[in-house]
Amino acid sequence: MKENNRNDQLERFFQHNPIEDPLYLKKYVKEHPDHKMAWYLLGREYAAQGKEGKAAYCFAQAGEIYEAFERQKISIEGPLPSYPSPASSKEAESSALKRKTSGKAKWLPVLVLLLLLAVPAGMDLAKGDVKDISSGPSKISDSAPAKTSNSGSVPVEAIASNGVKLYLSEGDWGRKLQQVLGLAGTGTGESVIMEAPSSADGKWQEWNRFVKPLIGVESQAEGGKSAELKYYQSQICSCQIADSTALTPVITTWMRDREQAIVLQSAVQAYQKKTGAMPEKPEQLTKPYPDNLLPGLTPEMQEIFPQVVSRLNESAKSGKPLDAKPATETKDTPQQTTKEPASPANTQPKSSADPLREPLSILIDTDKHQLALVSGNIIIRKYPVGLGAEKTPQGEFVISEKVRNPNGKSNGEFGSRGMTLSDTLYAIHGTNKPSSVGKDESHGCVRMLQADVEELYNMVPHETKVTIGKGILPPESEGSSSPSGGGPGTGAGRGKPDQSFTLPLQTKDDNPGKKYKWLD
């Protein structure tokens, strides 16, 4: 920040005395979310009120300011002040007024001056000019005690094989951090908050690119209530980044389980739509052509089949969406917080596809020559496709037929897989002209590379909704290459064909007796 801008900001800040007007801090951070000094002071205010979870959230937003001053002990030493939580908003205001003149609050005016006058030095320290500041995790002592959530219950937590608990932020890692810190002290071990990147337009979560760890919270229930923060990404703080290598297989396994669950869930829902009843056995999803919803099921999918059917039945009876996100509230918090306690992502049953909550569907963007497999606002896969310009119809369709080796060939004009759209002459299929992918050279059909169409064929059942239109997918994110050339997260296996989603062949899903005449 330029010196003149910093002075102007400090002058505006001093127009209100945060000690005389504590509510001003909350308003100020909303208007100036990048003002880390204000976040730090608000965190202190919450800590003084005994609201440790909210204090921890504010300290996390303060980032390097918290790092610099707490770890250099410029403010008071020892644990954060703890006061009984007020029983009502009136009592809260009264308590705050009393603290302004009490001996316990005498440190606050000095802290304000230190923070406002010493910010440049504090920022330099936090960026690593002093080794003992930037090395190792941050430590927040007594800011995250063992306590229940707003709903009054703490979830039973099953620990992954390496003791790590996973949480998916779903676009708001700060809110999730507040939840996780609120549960610190209920057990030892590390909790990791993950994130799928947002699309360039901010409307989608790009699961297809990666799901990466952001922050680790090391809880230490024995010997005191404390939580140490590990930072796994440089954009979170200007500090030493922890090695996330050991987390990669844990996250990969979690993602694979969720993908298997949503494919199975979508197939069960497709069966119900076609027949009017729920399947009773998993084999009903893998019948021979033309009822071949899926080519087969993995052992894991067969194991969770009863639970998936049960969850869908319960959802239908209750009228509630499957794996619905918890409600939110905004009362007395600088950011939205959920009423329900945070549950580790890796403790959810394998039959749950959460956060992939909605049935799989396909979007085809004729401008970008891209096909995306999505669940709600999450892009699970993205592939380059060949189209036919104005010959490719726009609108909504469903997959009405799936066939292996159309016309008895795996290397013919339709490649090794084909999926008819709404019983028309249009289809999504492979091609023996891979150079046409990314271009407008078809007669109206959607052409795909072999590895891509084979993976898509494994993942989508009959009745999958297909939408074709212009500009319906987000622009390429920074670091991604063109659709025709592939790139991070583009293509089979999220750009790694050797890691494609595969299913065993457990049925006869070819149709040698029919001559397919799709419009290629």
Please give the positions annotated as active site: 429, 445
In this structure, are strands 337-338 and 212-220 parallel, antiparallel, or unpaired? unpaired
CA 346 to CA 464: how far, in whole Å?
A: 28
Yes or no: say if 169 and 143 are a contact pair by the CB < 8 Å rule. Answer: no
For residue 182, the Cα-to-chain-centroid distance in whole angstroms is 20
Place of tokens 């790092």: 67
What tokens does 216 get?
Answer: 């680790």
Contact residues for 171 (Cβ-Cβ < 8 A; gap 6+)? 195, 198, 205
| Dihedral sign, Cα of residue 56, residue 58, residue 64, residue 67 | negative
Closest CA to 37 of 133, 143, 139, 119: 119
Closest CA to 453 of 491, 480, 422: 491
Yes or no: say if 285 and 380 are a contact pair by the CB < 8 Å rule. Answer: no
CA 401 to CA 520: how far, in whole Å?
A: 16
Under DSSP, the state recorded for 344 is -
Half-sphere exposure of 148 (CA within 13 A, CB side): 4
Under DSSP, the state recorded for 493 is H
Q: 243-249: which pairs have CB atoms within 8 A and are 24 or more residues apart? A: 244/212, 244/213, 246/162, 247/164, 247/192, 247/213
Q: What are phi and psi of 47, to 5 degrees?
A: -60, -40
CA angle 124, 127, 132 (to 5 degrees): 100
The DSSP line for 60-108 is HHHTHHHHHHHHTT-S--SSPP--PPPSSHHHHHHHHHHHHHSGGGTHH
Query: Within a 10 A sphere around the Cβ of 13, how many other Cβ atoms?
Result: 20
